[in-house]
Amino acid sequence: MSLIHKSAADLGALVARGEASAVEVAQAHLDRIAAVEPKVNAFLHVDAETTLAQARRVDERRAAGEELGPLAGVPIAHKDVFTTADMPTTAGSKILEGWRPPYDATVTRRLREAGLVILGKTNLDEFAMGSSTENSAYGPTRNPWDLSRIPGGSSGGSSAAVAAYQAPLSTGTDTGGSIRQPAAVTGIVGMKPTYGGSSRYGLIAFASSLDTPGPFARDVMDAALLHEAFSGHDAMDSTSIDAPVPSVVEAARQGDVAGLRIGVVKEFGGEGYQAGVLARFHETVELLENLGAKVVEVSCPSFTTALPAYYLIAPSECSSNLARFDAMRYGLRVGDDGTRSAEEVMALTRAAGFGPEVKRRIILGTYALSSGYYDAYYGQAQKVRTLIARDFQAAFQQVDVLVSPTTPTTAFPIGERADDPMAMYLADLCTIPSNLAGNAAISVPCGLADEDGLPVGLQIMAPVLGDDRCYRVGAAVERALTDRWGGGLLAKAPAL
């Protein structure tokens, strides 16, 4: 098996034992990026020299006898919404084109401290607003399973990089499903930790009460190792939870559901769901029951109102957060010829720098927060958010985890929903409730849809700080289905 096809855990072990150097591992992945990147467009920035310099430092640390962590020397693709002092950070927007931050995000710093080797920055929907990575100012990313289809969004570059074997691991952010939905449609694992369990410091903000950094990987154990590497309390983030990281690696190692109570969310299914998605979901629920879990149906009636509530709350926070991009301090500046006022320069810059989806959400959010409409829109949406959190609390008194399809359909063709925002937003139908409530949720592959042969994801939702339950159930599903498939799901993907 070549280096690019090994798991992150195996690569870390090879480097630790001196059986492969971090430089060799990094070079193998740089070669893969060079070979397939023109087809996939997963990356916005790759700097081989910087990558290899990071890898050499890991090899020097090992040669000096330093004890290395389990992921030291493992390459990783980093979503271009985390600040990186040695690489540009654009958030997929022209308004930040070429911007080099003066500091690293906490997630970036912790990746470096763990000895991970950052290959480059990945493509995304502009400012993480989208479900297809078609909203990037730098062109769409393509799904490695079918290059005519979307890789999900907003973290589509990160999901595609892992699915295309350009990197064994990647980072993403999940505001309304932007880790889980891309993971589902590219056949990999994606985890949204409990809100506040991973630091937002240095993460370019979209919606501050929702944004959550999390891991992508090709298997559950690798995701757990990355989760532990960059999570935990951060004094630089006022919303960071001052509590130990749940023992997600141990839970992934356990992978046993015997005796667990698993709730099937009644509201997620039926009309609008692809038949092949529902078929794989119901088969996986039956599998969990055969593994010793007790499966019951659970009703969460407020979940049906999550989508409209989210598309008031998130744009409202976006309209506030993106006000900082004013052409006065950093980033793009248009029309500053000495004859225009600051307000004119600001308007010209935002008109040129922001894409259509970002403008749409800023307008929606500004309207929802405006005098006379605040209580009717934003205030009502926050009340719905409370009801959704209460539905979760009631459900978790009955069961240990909830399950649903991750997204109603498999990957749709590029351009199919580009002119229909409502159809695009429906991709996040199942994922949004967990963002509004702040609890943990993961997507793991559960097979291929009959209609198109594309991946289907199983979503597993757990209570706040119940992240380990997601990994425990996810690992059990992965183990059972790997035995059934005779190998990992990605082995069935068409070769690029």
Residue tagged 């978790």 (tokens): 396
Phi, psi of 347, rounded to the nearest 5 degrees: -65, -45
Residue 266 falls in the annotated catalytic set: no
Q: Is the preceding peptide bond at 209 cis, omega within 30 degrees of 0?
A: no
Query: Exposed (0-12), middle (13-18) or buried (19+): which is 65, by Cβ within 10 Å?
Result: exposed
Using DSSP's 3-state secondary structure scheme, residue 147 falls into coil
Query: Containing H/E element for 486?
Result: none
Token pair of 249, please? 């690696």
d(CA 349, CA 346): 5
- Give the contacts of 496 (CB within 8 A, at least 6 positions apart): 35, 36, 39, 40, 144, 164
Cα–Cα dist 282/405, whole Å:
9
Tokens of 42: 């997963």
Alpha-carbon dihedral angle through residues 397, 400, 406, 408, given to the nearest 10 degrees:
-50
User: How many other C-beta atoms are found inside a 10 Å radius of the C-beta of residue 161?
Assistant: 38
Amino acid code (one letter) for 19: E
2 is written with which tokens?
């070549």
Catalytic residue among 21, 154, 240, 302: 154
246-271 b/e with 16+ CB inside 10 Å = b?
bbbbebbeebbbeebebbbbebbbee
> Would you call 79 a catalytic residue per the annotation?
yes
User: What is residue 378's DSSP assignment?
Assistant: I
Of 7, 93, 178, 443, which one is the catalytic site residue?
Answer: 178
Q: What are the residues whose beta carbons fall under 8 Å from the beta carbon of 372, sequence distance 6 or more?
A: none
What number of other Cβ atoms are within 10 A of residue 243's Cβ? Answer: 12
Among residues 79, 94, 121, 192, which one is catalytic? 79
Residue 439 neighbours by CB under 8 Å, 6+ apart: 194, 195, 392, 461, 462, 463, 464, 466
Give the distance, in angstroms, between the CA of residue 389 and the centroid of all CA atoms in the same chain.
Answer: 21
Give the residue numbers marked as catalytic.
79, 154, 178
